[in-house]
Amino acid sequence: MTTRTITPRYDPLVLRSRWLQLPAGDPDAIAAARSNAGVDFAAASGRIWETDDYIYLPVTVNVRDGDTIRRERVSFALGSDLLVTLQPVANFAPFGKALARISRTPHLADSPHGVMYALLHALNEESERVIDRASEVLESMSDEIDLATTGYNERGREIGVSDMQDTIARMNDAEEIVSRCQETQLLLARAARHLRADLPAEQTQLASLLDILIADINGVQEHASYEHDKVRYLQQSIMTSLDVKQNQIVKVFTIITAVFLPPTLVATFYGMNFTFMPELSWEHGFLTTTLLTLISAMIPLWYIHRRGWLR
């Protein structure tokens, strides 16, 4: 006789009894939850706060919608029998993955702690998607970054600061996104640790899952830190390259000034209105003055070339 293992089926009614979703823009639903369930997000004021019935845990998350990154606030109120979430909209997109996870592992819906685990897991995955988007943006700018150091624009001129303003602006946006993701990971890790500490002792399987989740959150945070370091390195590389080019321009003007300063001094000398200047009566006075001017220009040019300042 063959023994068959019966897998528990997902029951939406069980999930609704464990998880109450409140849209942030629905004051009537928030007031009803305060009256019926005793949850008061206004009193929590966006901070970690514990009462006799709930632990309030706010998390700021980044949500990717195509090429757009939005910053949203989600607040959890974790009770012994009920989890309440104050979220931007009723159908918050990142929570769709949490529902899919709960449908695959129905035992998560047996407790509010299991539901919150699934929600935090979904938010962590969403944060990783945002970081991947920032990484894609940086990779797409690799050619532009190469142009900043060695390239020329469409007119055949060396790339300057004005040519790189758009690239620098987009790189700054990428740095801001990654920095926000680092903050999100800190908040997610804090919420996961509080969830782990509040977990009943008999839920050993969920405790193991939470330990893995905390490790995953820390791993995504390390990924964000790596991307942040890469952005800062690229920013520094571009700015250093542009500074070098600007210094080269200044060097050219300095060399020109050094070369033409002695001839200018000669011209100024002979432009003075003295009564007696014997050179004016010389047969080859004009040629002598011209050669003197040329030699006075060649001497600093030779010296600059000898010192290697023309490279």
- 69 three-class SS: strand
Residue 162: pLDDT above 90? no
Token pair recorded at residue 50: 């514990």
Give pLDDT tens digits for 66-97: 778 889 999 999 999 999 999 999 889 999 99
> In terms of pLDDT, which residue wins out, 141 or 112?
112
Is 297 found in the same domain as 152?
no
Give the chain's domain count: 2
Give pLDDT tens digits for 44-67: 888 899 999 999 999 999 998 877
The burial class, CB within 10 Å (0-12 / 13-18 / 19+), for 257 is: exposed
Question: What confidence category does residue 5 fall into, taking pLDDT thresholds of 50, 70 and 90?
Answer: very low
Residue 191: pLDDT above 80? yes
Query: Span 124-132, mean pLDDT?
Result: 92
What's the chain's average pLDDT? Answer: 84
Domain boundary among 199, 221, 247: 247
Query: Span 17-25, mean pLDDT?
Result: 92
From CA 251, how far away is CA 266, in angstroms rounded?
24
Question: What pTM value is reported for the model?
Answer: 0.76
Is 254 found in the same domain as 235?
no
Task: Print the domain residue range for 27.
Answer: 12-247
Domain boundary among 247, 278, 294: 247
